[in-house]
Structures are given as C-alpha cells and as structure tokens.
Amino acid sequence: MVSNVLEVDQDDLLKQVKTFKKKYADDPDYKKLRAVLPKDWPL
C-alpha cells in the first residue's frame, strides 16, 4: 500500500492526495490523467 511505502497513515495520505485536486484542478495533464480514473476515486 502506498501509505506503507511513504510511512504515513492512510488518513494523512488521503489528505495529501485531496490537495492535488485543488492544486492541479486546471492543469491539462491532471485532467487527462484524472479522466481515466473512476469517478469515486479520492483524487
């Protein structure tokens, strides 16, 4: 699991990942990559 590799707990990892959504919301590469993930994916 990613949180184990990064040595953070799952809640902290999800908080970090959710900041990506805000930070990169207008980035074309983010939008392209996000489009291939399921809608309920936490990013």
Task: Please report which residue ranges of 1-43 form alpha helices under DSSP H.
Answer: 2-6, 10-23, 28-35
pTM value is 0.54
9-23: pLDDT as tens digits = 888 888 888 888 889
Domain residue ranges of the chain, discontinuous segments joined by +? 2-35
- pLDDT tops 90 at residue 29: yes
Tokens of 33: 């990559």
